[in-house]
């Protein structure tokens, strides 16, 4: 999770998270390169005493400042489109979980086993947070997803529009009443991740966090059939 003064992304727990961080670094490299070059040219022009008011054409220069920005846009567009398709890819999920937004809590359903499992997840009040817990992020029942396998998460809402967001795995999905959005997740290790509703949904919008626990497939199936 994020800490005070942190400027970078959270540590990634999924392949999508690593891809998003890589694209961010790639885009920032191009941005810094372009900004530095433009700034250098501006300083050189301000310090120069030469004038080009009698210059009527420069086809080579016009071609260069058309082709080079076009190539830079391709350098940004190709990995961006690739990442866009990766975000929509679900694959062959082994586990399916449904997250339903309510005012103001989340409920989770698992229907892949012989026994249907469902529970509600409420934020733990500040007076009940144990030592080492996180204020406004701890929940009484965390959703559980196994790592090392493809999982599918279905997101919907029972009342107004919510958003199920977990920055550490690089997902943010709108929960819309009467509609089911899905995303594919492949976690790479065990741990506890925290997120929050990212769509203003009412007076207690800030008090419906998302708590996700990543465990091994063996532990997950023991928890599912307990």
- Rounded Cα–Cα distance for residues 174 and 216 (Å): 27
Long-range Cβ contacts of 21-26 (<8 Å, 24+ apart): 23/79, 23/80, 23/83, 26/76, 26/79
Q: What is the mean pLDDT of residues 149-155?
A: 91
Average pLDDT for 149-172: 91
pLDDT tier, 13 (very low <50, low <70, confident <90, very high otherwise): confident
Q: What is the pLDDT of residue 115?
A: 65
Res. 35: pLDDT tops 80: yes
Does the pLDDT at position 192 exceed 60?
yes
Q: What is the pLDDT of residue 163?
A: 94
The pLDDT mean for the chain works out to 87
Q: Is the pLDDT of residue 52 over 80?
A: no
pLDDT of residue 39: 94
- Mean pLDDT value across residues 217-222: 88
pLDDT-wise least confident of 35-44, 49-58, 213-222: 49-58
Q: What is the dotted CATH code of the domain comprising 95-225?
A: 2.60.40.420
Which residues fall within 8 angstroms of residue 225, CB to CB, at 6 or more apart? Answer: 113, 114, 115
Domain parsing of the chain, residue ranges: 15-48+58-88, 95-225
Asked if 99 and 143 count as a contact pair (C-beta separation under 8 A), the reply is yes
Digit-coded pLDDT (tens) for 87-121: 887 778 888 899 999 999 999 998 755 568 889 99
- Write down the pTM of the prediction: 0.78
The pLDDT of 22-38, averaged and rounded, is 92
Other CB atoms within 10 A of residue 212 CB: 27
Mean pLDDT, residues 75-83 taken together: 91
């Amino acid at each position: 999770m994020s800490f005070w003064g942190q400027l970078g992304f959270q540590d990634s727990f999924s392949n999508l998270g690593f891809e998003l961080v890589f694209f961010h670094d790639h885009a920032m490299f191009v941005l810094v390169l372009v900004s530095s070059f433009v700034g250098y040219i501006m300083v050189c022009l301000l310090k120069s005493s030469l004038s080009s008011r009698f210059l009527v054409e420069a086809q080579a220069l016009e071609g260069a400042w058309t082709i080079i920005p076009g190539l830079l846009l391709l350098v940004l567009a190709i990995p961006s489109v690739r990442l866009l398709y990766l975000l929509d890819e679900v694959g062959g999920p082994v586990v399916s979980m449904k997250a339903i937004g309510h005012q103001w809590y989340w409920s989770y359903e698992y229907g892949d086993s012989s026994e249907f499992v469902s529970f509600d997840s409420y934020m733990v009040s500040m007076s009940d947070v144990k030592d080492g817990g996180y204020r406004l992020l701890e929940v009484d029942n965390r959703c559980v997803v196994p790592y090392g396998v493809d999982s599918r998460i279905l997101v919907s809402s029972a009342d107004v529009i919510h958003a199920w967001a977990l920055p550490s795995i690089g997902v943010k999905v709108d929960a819309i009443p009467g509609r089911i959005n899905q995303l594919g997740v492949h976690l790479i290790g065990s741990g506890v991740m925290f997120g929050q509703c990212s769509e203003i949904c009412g007076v207690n919008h800030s008090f419906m966090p998302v708590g996700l626990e990543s465990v091994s497939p063996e532990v997950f199936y023991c928890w599912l059939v307990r």
